[in-house]
Structure 1
Amino acid sequence: MIQRRSRKISCAKLLLTGGVLLYLLLVLAPLVHAQRFEFSGNRKKQSIPFILVKNLIIIPVYINGKGPYNFLLDTGVAQMIITDTTFLDNLDLKSAKTVKVQGYGFGDNIEAVLTRNVSAKVGKAIIKSIPTAIFKKDIFDLSNYLGIKIYGILGYYFFNSFKVKINYYTNKLTFYAPDAKIELKGNRIPIQITGGKPYLTTQIKTDDLGDIEVDLLIDNGSSHPLMMESLHDKPFPLPAKTIYANLGVGINGIINGSMGRISAIKLGTYTFNEVLTGFPEYNIGRSTMEGRTRNGSLGSDILRHFIVTFDYTGGFLYLKKNNNDVPKFEHDMSGLEIYVIQGIKDRYYIGRIEVGSPAEEAGLQVNDEITAINFVGVVHYKLNELTEILKDRNGKQLLMEIYRADDKHVMLLRLKKRI
């Protein structure tokens, strides 16, 4: 069991390795493939900086000529999604349709307004009519989770319009017109686009199964390294050592499962070892909602080690290693999750504590406000830095200064590598 703060960060795109797992399995209006972002004039490419928070890419987007608004750039979604409910009042939605959205999770369906009466602009590229889902309730609460105001999520229509290069090392996004003459560098891996989402076939290795071929959704909007859900229409076999974990949230609610490791995953000529992996509880209806079967998903905690280029129309993914570091995949060693209440000074609270974790043993509780760690005020940290502190080193001791019901407490938290 996992405790969670009601309707706050627990109902946002929740954790995996301190990051965010997004499962937006939307059954919405059909994709209109003719609609694309386009440059005006003779422009063939553009580069813009992005903000990287918990492995997630945040870019500025103009909506109907206003903005810029912070959007997640996410290969795991098809229709553009607006999560900020104020857009329901600010956009002309006379011809919009309200539907209940079915998703991958547990809970009630969520209402969303569907419209094409929206234009979007990224850099100098614009799309005049982009299929958009505007949720009537901000179920993800991404702003508090990421510590920066988030208005929505942009996916397929951007990636399908360009060749898109993501440099995680320099935080630079470069996008090229389809007819631009460029040399795409790196390992070339075939991908298939189904329902507006990219998939690849590759090999993984487990202690019990050895080398097996798997189909994976490429989901850079999820900060996990890897998720394995099914094999031969049955739950994916768990490794010998796992811990129970809250793996994320879908449209309908919490996704539970286990956290463990697989021996290796191969991507082109690259191999990653001892990869931290989530194993969601098997959902037999997921393939029906997605429109195809798959074994799991590849997340940004692996992709961030590359310069990644997506070529949807050509049907390839290009991966070029951005450094010679040997990747290490570590799970959170505290057992707590932090969310942010934004203001003049951001305030940091505990939104979730795993049963039997170091955080529970230390006496920390959900809704405690964290004010200092090792006598350094949290105002001196960014959320990314706090996340890294909580998975820093097995056995490391942290003095946590917290406020609970206006009373100050100092508690000793000893980090523990649990998987």
Structure 2
Amino acid sequence: MKKIIWFLFFACCLQTISFSQGNFVIQNKRESDKIRFKLINNLIIIPVEINGIELSFILDTGVNKTIIFNFLNISDSLQIKNTETIFLRGLGEGEAIKALKSTQNISKIGDAINIDQELYAVLNSNLNFAPRLGFPLHGIIGYDLFKDFVVEVNYVSKYIRLTNPNVYKAKPCRSCETLNMEFYKNKPYIYLDVKIAEKQIPVKLLIDSGGSDALWLFEDDSLGIKTSNVFFEDFLGHGLTGSVYGKRSKIEEVSIRHFKLNKVNVSFPDSESLIYVKQHKDRNGSIAGDLLKRFNLIIDYSSKTISFKKNKHFQDDFSYNKSGIELEQNAVRLVKQKDYNYIAKADFSKDDNNVSKTPIVLNASYKLALQPAYSIVELREGSPAEKAGLMLGDVLVSINNKSTDRYSLQEISHMFYDKHGQRIKLEVEREGVALTFVLYLEDVFEK
């Protein structure tokens, strides 16, 4: 019944609002709307309705197609139609992935609506980013939204504002830096300077709000783009076609005109993961979430400009996971928890002075509850975690003597970014056996 009402409401709106096929239009007089988002692992997660179903999408400047993950057969619930089979390529060492291309879908983001949304439903059931984020995630949207609006991104207050370019009025901002964007296959690129081994190097970078790291660079000895002597091999993330591995290091500086960021984290992905993305030969890498979040942004595809205004995160140190552990929330486990609402004993009989013999006492009883299980799915070779004896598949039970059911996946992962030498005690379950390990976080750049 709810879905029928929604479509009836939409039909009424058609009489008063003019839509263009494949474009978003804002359904209010201001022609502007503010949408709250969650910031998880430096990724912007926004609420999106597809054919009346509420979902969560990554807002990703680095994609030119709107993608639905089909690990829960969600495309059946969305009633997607007019499908054809295609194959998609992206970051990762695997083969192209199979997807269903669908048209004439209805998408809604805040007051913005598109009545002919093109979707790509990925058929690989293993392509599921939600366990790594510890948050339900159903898809990715980028170009389809950015092309129709001026998009303001406020990383501090955690909202985006969408405005029709025809009514948008830019405010004077002396503390901002505005750069021109170039486009290749509907993806935006900017030119920055990086300093490596005391050499200033101009680089062309993809603006990639769908990446968690600060900066990715593609090694090129002829340009001087190479890792320093201090680095470590690591898992860098998931792409559409598989896992991405490479080197993590730091570079001396990144310059966005007069904005200078020092000792910036940088990743150098393995060449095997870049065969497809390096089809754009002029590209030198990506600028991603951990760097972008230090600014509030105004992204205007219509004028091909992006404005940077530094925010309170600008001076934050660039840190990274010093444990060598990558966790995934991929199951649940039974946890014994205290139940303070249980009345242990109450004797209401009274003595001769009309006083109860036994007072009512609220004691803690226990109950069993299902809680997320956090498993180790990546373990860096030579890391503190590996040297301590932890193994892939270990399920965390407690951290620093506190049960993991008290924490979200993000809260636990954040502990691994603490200072060099920090002691962390982990209790894990391995094949039904409880084991305890102690490790000390290690910053290879402070040695």
TM-score category by the smaller chain? 0.7 to 0.9
Residue type matched to 2:324 in 1? G
SS in 2 for 1:118: strand
Instruction: Map 1:265-284 onto structure 2 (within 5 A).
Output: 265-282=254-271
1:108 to 2:95 alignment? yes
* Contact kept? 1:194, 1:292, Cα under 8 Å: no
Q: 2:37 aligns with which of 47, 50, 53?
A: 50
Instruction: Map 1:294-333 onto structure 2 (within 5 A).
Output: 294-323=283-312, 326-333=315-322
* Contact kept? 1:235, 1:281, Cα under 8 Å: no
Cα offsets for 1:238-274 (capped at 9, x unmatched): 2121111222233332322211111101013211111
Q: 2:243 aligns with which of 229, 238, 254?
A: 254
In structure 1, the residue matched to 2:85 is 98
Deviation at 1:231, TM superposition (A): 3.4
Instruction: Map 1:310-389 onto structure 2 (within 5 A).
Output: 310-323=299-312, 326-341=315-330, 344-389=370-415
Superposition TM-score, scaled by structure 1 size: 0.86
* Contact kept? 1:197, 1:217, Cα under 8 Å: yes
In structure 2, the residue matched to 1:87 is 74
SS in 2 for 1:157: helix
SS in 2 for 1:119: strand
Cα offsets for 1:187-231 (capped at 9, x unmatched): 1111112212111001110016x0011000010110100010143
* Contact kept? 1:60, 1:71, Cα under 8 Å: yes
In 2: Cα distance, 1:69 partner to 1:240 partner:
44
Q: Percent identity?
A: 28
Deviation at 1:58, TM superposition (A): 0.8
* Contact kept? 1:333, 1:391, Cα under 8 Å: yes
1:405 to 2:431 alignment? yes
In 1: Cα distance, 2:425 partner to 2:162 partner:
45
> Structure 1 residues 287 and 62, CA, compared in 2 at 3 Å: closer, same or farther?
closer
Residue type matched to 2:113 in 1? I
In structure 2, the residue matched to 1:5 is none
In structure 1, the residue matched to 2:169 is 182
> Structure 1 residues 328 and 90, CA, compared in 2 at 3 Å: closer, same or farther?
same
> Structure 1 residues 265 and 88, CA, compared in 2 at 3 Å: closer, same or farther?
same
* Contact kept? 1:147, 1:342, Cα under 8 Å: no
What do you get for the CA RMSD once the two structures are aligned? 2.1
Deviation larger for 326-335 or 276-285: 276-285
Structure 1 unmatched ranges of 5 or more: 1-32
In 1: Cα distance, 2:255 partner to 2:209 partner:
17
* Contact kept? 2:22, 2:118, Cα under 8 Å: no
Residue type matched to 2:59 in 1? L
In structure 2, the residue matched to 1:25 is none
In structure 2, the residue matched to 1:205 is 195
1:242 to 2:231 alignment? yes
Deviation at 1:377, TM superposition (A): 1.4
> Structure 1 residues 295 and 324, CA, compared in 2 at 3 Å: closer, same or farther?
closer
Superposition TM-score, scaled by structure 2 size: 0.81
In 2: Cα distance, 1:389 partner to 1:140 partner:
27
Structure 2 unmatched ranges of 5 or more: 1-19, 333-369
* Contact kept? 1:306, 1:319, Cα under 8 Å: yes
Aligned pair count?
384
* Contact kept? 2:91, 2:277, Cα under 8 Å: no
SS in 1 for 2:233: strand
* Contact kept? 2:63, 2:142, Cα under 8 Å: yes
> Structure 1 residues 319 and 94, CA, compared in 2 at 3 Å: closer, same or farther?
closer
Deviation larger for 183-192 or 314-323: 183-192
> Structure 1 residues 93 and 175, CA, compared in 2 at 3 Å: closer, same or farther?
closer
Deviation at 1:387, TM superposition (A): 1.6
Residue type matched to 1:112 in 2? A
Cα offsets for 1:120-172 (capped at 9, x unmatched): 10001111112211110144321111111111111111111111111111111
Of structures 1 and 2, the larger Rg is shown by 2
Deviation at 1:41, TM superposition (A): 4.6
Cα offsets for 1:255-305 (capped at 9, x unmatched): 22211111101013211111110011235743564x453000001101111
Residue type matched to 2:427 in 1? E
In structure 2, the residue matched to 1:417 is 443
